[in-house]
């Protein structure tokens, strides 16, 4: 972990000739498996979108996608990919704890490796988790992919920690399943133990209309 600000840290990683290990040339396999059957649309938010691979995959399936990331370098690369592919994805530079709440909330929200990163870097995890119910439409689905502490990387979120992050009554029908998280390093592909959480924004909780 570094003491430099998050924007500087991630911009530096995305400028590196060796792309960040989570940039694998497509969505994480565990998320790719749900794109055709598990995504409620049309409005989808990709938080911590990086260079946009998941956002682009969602847009190819006809969803109205917004991707946000704290790194201007990553967002510039994502916009270039969308332009080359002719896909109308909106990519914005934004801190995950300060995402503007839209007039019409998102039907699905994807977090591919962001929550465990916020936790690892000591960022405002509580602010982010408090914002998610306001971003997600009642009945909307949130997907969170996280490395598990079992991966032995010195960080990660286990089943209990993930479930505790999405308590009732704001969230319902929460499930967490073990998955592999794919990374690419100089020596090749690396598969890390991970977890995939799925949860549904309650349509009856007191704060659903905030």
- Of 107, 109, 123, which is closest to residue 166 (Cα–Cα)? 109
pTM assigned to the model: 0.93
For 140, other C-beta atoms within 10 Å of its C-beta total 22
Report pLDDT digits (tens) over 126-147.
999 999 999 999 999 999 999 9
Compute φ and ψ for 43, nearest 5 degrees.
-85, 120
Report pLDDT digits (tens) over 80-119.
999 999 999 999 999 999 999 999 999 999 999 999 999 8
């Amino acid at each position: 972990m570094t003491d430099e600000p998050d924007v500087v840290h991630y911009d530096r990683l995305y400028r590196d000739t060796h792309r960040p290990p989570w940039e694998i040339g497509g969505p994480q396999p565990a998320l790719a498996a749900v794109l055709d059957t598990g995504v409620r649309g049309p409005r989808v938010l990709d938080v911590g979108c990086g260079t946009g691979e998941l956002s682009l995959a969602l847009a190819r399936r006809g969803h109205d996608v917004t991707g946000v990331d704290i790194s201007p370098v990553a967002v510039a690369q994502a916009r270039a990919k969308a332009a080359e592919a002719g896909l109308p994805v909106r990519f914005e530079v934004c801190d995950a704890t300060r995402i503007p709440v839209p007039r019409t909330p998102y039907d699905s929200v994807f977090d591919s490796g962001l929550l465990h990163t916020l936790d690892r870097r000591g960022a405002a995890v509580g602010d982010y988790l408090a914002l998610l119910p306001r971003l997600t439409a009642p009945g909307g689905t949130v997907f969170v992919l996280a490395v598990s502490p079992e991966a032995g990387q010195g960080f990660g979120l286990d089943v209990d920690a993930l479930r505790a992050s999405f308590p009732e009554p704001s969230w319902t029908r929460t499930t967490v399943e073990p998955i592999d998280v794919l990374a690419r390093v100089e020596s090749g592909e690396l598969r890390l133990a991970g977890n995939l959480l799925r949860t549904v924004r309650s349509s009856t909780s007191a704060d659903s209309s905030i």
